[in-house]
Structure 1
Amino acid sequence: MAGRRPGAPDTRGEIVAAARAELAQHGYDGTSLRAVARRAGVDPALVHHYFKDKQRLVTAALSLPVAPAEVLGPVLVAPSDDVGSAFIRALVTSWDEPANREAVVAMSRSGLGTAGQGEIVRDFVLRETIAEVVQRHRPDAPPEVAALLLALMVGLVAARYLLEVEPLASMSVDEVVRAVGPAAQLHLDLDRVVGRP
């Protein structure tokens, strides 16, 4: 199989379109770089050349301007008792950027609009954003921790960016961190606070 088809100047765009189609048909877990390459009619090495890994490919397919790994750097090195605030700060700082905000709103609307798209967005966020934080800081955490962090993210996006609920919509990043960071920390420490049977 040739790396690039003759007469196909937008190979990267075709790979992204193939990734969207694979995600729609097979979901996040069922989509592989090899399957995307096959659908796009290119060599898998070309997919790796453009995107390096699955996270970057899915980020492009979901039209996000930045991959979660680029946002999470400060969170992964934060002190354990400050992870919740670092998590909220990293997310809101990124989401407040105009280009990111537009993409997050679009992804949220499509994710909440259809079951199939919602499953893709949910799995992507759980595995590529929340799982990184939980694995680094709470590898022993029960599944409820990831689920509650996802619920917190969805609620924050919906209230601040989709519904523009005041005063949350116009709060500064620092104000949002002060208000929501402790809740994120509580979720991370859930089983340590309430205990588990």
Structure 2
Amino acid sequence: MAEPAPRGITSADLEAVPAPLVAEILDGVLETHPRPRHAMAAGELAGELIPPFAPPFARGRGGPGGWVFMIEPELHFGPQVVVPDLAGWRRGRLPAEPATPFVETPPDWACAILSPSKARLDRGPKRRIYAEAGVAHLWLLDPADGELEAFALTEGRWLLVGTVRRGEMVALAPYDAVPFPLDALFPLDAPAAPTET
């Protein structure tokens, strides 16, 4: 549901939204939506990325390390407030945990896990807001369709650099150093038959 945001909206306005809802400010509009029912896909994706890419865990998994991850961080980009499902920063860009309950440093990567209640926002205004903030990589994961789209910010615009479907391996920037099967993100679903190349 969307309501016009009052002038000078503050953190208190966001905090006033009831706990089960996620609140964002997109283009001056207070957007609220139920917490999507894709926590398993988000957790599985974090489980694939954190061991090889986030120190100190990377030492045992053969990954390059160098990243910091957050699940559902509240990101403030000027008047815009967005909450991606997952976000990652190269460690040099976020060397310490912010003292605030939100992050103002744009992530290097953001992932939206699409659901009927928020796909319109993730594919529309939020994707544009991430580009304006300079987020370099954006993944859109659609559990219903079993598809992952990867975009790279190129000259201020999103360029689709790859699409992975059920039964295929994910080897997409910026995490292409350690591929993993897309089916691993849906542990309760029957695995897709491998695609032939």
Higher strand share: 2
Same fold (TM over 0.5): no
Structure with greater Cα Rg: 1
Specify which structure has the higher proportion of helix: 1
Higher relative contact order, chain-length normalized (CA < 8 Å, sep 6+): 1
